[in-house]
Amino acid sequence: MNNTTNLFSLATKAAQKAYCPYSKFAVGSAILSTNGNFYFGCNVENISYPVGTCAEAGAISAMIANGDTSIAEILIYADSQELISPCGACRQRIAEFATPQTLIHVANKQGTIKTYNITELLPHSFSEF
């Protein structure tokens, strides 16, 4: 299984576990760190809507908790016909742990995959203060 296929499999499985009773929009995300480890997460909603978290945040948290800080590839899967477009906050979250080489894949339930780099998704990002 190649990396992207593996990431797709992990992200779709995570999406099946998504807790999304309010939006009914299941999202799964899987990461391959530059150290070669795989992580995944799903969206977790809340009755107090702003408290909900995105799938990318869960996957990144799992990566950080295991001691990795650099993303080689991340895949974001939505259980929808349309390819998901990661939210602005998640673009910023990914940017924190991305390099110019990081592959950011988005995927839908037909298995269509489109790949971006972080500059395409978050141009002119805030980087110094």
For the record, the structure tokens of 9 come out as: 């499999």
- The only residue of 55, 62, 98, 106 in contact with ligand THU, by rule CB under 6 A: 55
128 is catalytic: no
Footprint of ligand THU on residues 56-115 (CB under 6 A)? Answer: 56, 86-87, 90
- Catalytic site residue from 45, 56, 82, 128: 56
* Tokens 């499999």 -> residue: 9
Of the ranges 5-13, 50-58, 64-72, 104-112, which one interacts with ligand THU (CB under 6 A)?
50-58
The binder of ligand THU chosen from 54, 60, 63, 72 (CB under 6 A): 54
User: What is the closest distance, in whole angstroms, from the C-beta atom of residue 128 to ligand THU in the complex?
Assistant: 25
What would the DSSP string read from start to end of the chain?
A: --HHHHHHHHHHHHHHT-B-TTT---EEEEEEETTS-EEEEE-B--SSGGG-B-HHHHHHHHHHHTT---EEEEEEEESSSSPP---HHHHHHHHHT--TT-EEEEE-TT--EEEE-HHHHSTT-----
We find the least distance from the C-beta atom of residue 57 to ligand THU, in angstroms, to be 8
Binding site for ligand THU (CB under 6 A): 20, 23, 25, 27, 43, 45, 52, 54-56, 86-87, 90
